[in-house]
Amino acid sequence: MGKQRKTWSTDLKEAIVLSVLRGELGVAEAARQHGVNESLIHTWKTQFLEAGRARLAGDRHDHGSTQVERENDRLKRILAEKELELDIARKVRRL
């Protein structure tokens, strides 16, 4: 069987990145302390800084809300279909 990937909580990733950015820990030291590959910490740091850069550039769009909006639209379509089915069923019963 293949090796399972380890997942890291957002809070832990944030804490590691912030400690590196503050200069409290070097990337190598943080990697050793937390059992994380150094390249992964560099990736998290880049993602963290890019997200901040987008916000500073005025990007107020919350990517999580986009997913919620899509799910909301999907559920509205399902509801509309069900309402149509019920309306048709009521009309058939009247006949």
Q: Cα angle vertex 69, ends 79, 12, to 5°?
A: 130
Q: Would the pLDDT of 33 be above 80? A: yes
Q: pLDDT digit string (tens) for 47-64?
A: 998 888 777 777 666 556
In this predicted structure, what is the pLDDT of residue 22? Answer: 92
Q: Would the pLDDT of 1 be above 60? A: no
For the chain, the structural domain boundaries read: 8-60, 62-95
Q: Which residue has the higher pLDDT, 91 or 27?
A: 27
CB contact set of 44 (below 8 Å; sequence gap of 6+): 13, 16, 17
pTM value > 0.95: no
First to last CA, the chain: 61
6-32 average pLDDT score:
92
